[in-house]
Amino acid sequence: MTTPKPGRKDAYMLRARARYLRAAEEVIATTGPDATIEQFALHADVAIATLYKHFGSKEGLIKAAMLDAAQKWEAWQFEVLSHVTDPLEQLALGLRLAIRIRTTHPTLAVVMLRGRAAGYFDPREMGLTFTAYARALADAGVISGDDLELRCQSVVSAVAAEGARQILSDADPADGDKVVELVLPLLGITPAKAKALAHSALPELVASAS
pLDDT of residue 191: 97
Q: What is the pTM of this model?
A: 0.85
What gap in Å lies between CA 44 and CA 79, rounded to an integer? 29
CB 184 within 8 A of CB 92: yes
CB 146 within 8 A of CB 110: no
CB 131 within 8 A of CB 152: yes
What gap in Å lies between CA 72 and CA 82, rounded to an integer? 15
Tens of pLDDT, residues 59-70: 999 999 999 998
Structural domain spans, the chain: 6-198
Tens of pLDDT, residues 95-141: 999 999 999 999 999 998 999 888 888 877 777 889 999 999 999 99
**Quick check: 1 pLDDT over 50?**
no
CB 105 within 8 A of CB 76: yes
What gap in Å lies between CA 86 and CA 205, rounded to an integer? 19
Band of residue 12 on the pLDDT scale cut at 50, 70, 90 = confident
Average the pLDDT over 165-186 and give the result: 93
Class of domain 6-198: mainly alpha
> Diameter of the chain by CA atoms?
69
What gap in Å lies between CA 56 and CA 49, rounded to an integer? 9
Question: Which residues lie below 8 Å from residue 72, measured CB to CB, with a gap of 6+?
Answer: 105, 108, 210
**Quick check: 145 pLDDT over 70?**
yes
Average the pLDDT over 142-147 and give the result: 93
Which of 7-16, 81-90, 131-140 is predicted with the least confidence, judged by mean pLDDT?
7-16
pLDDT of residue 47: 96
Residue 141 burial (10 A CB sphere; 0-12, 13-18, 19+): exposed
**Quick check: 6 pLDDT over 60?**
no
Alpha-carbon separation of residue 202 from 93, 177, 182 (angstroms): 8, 11, 18
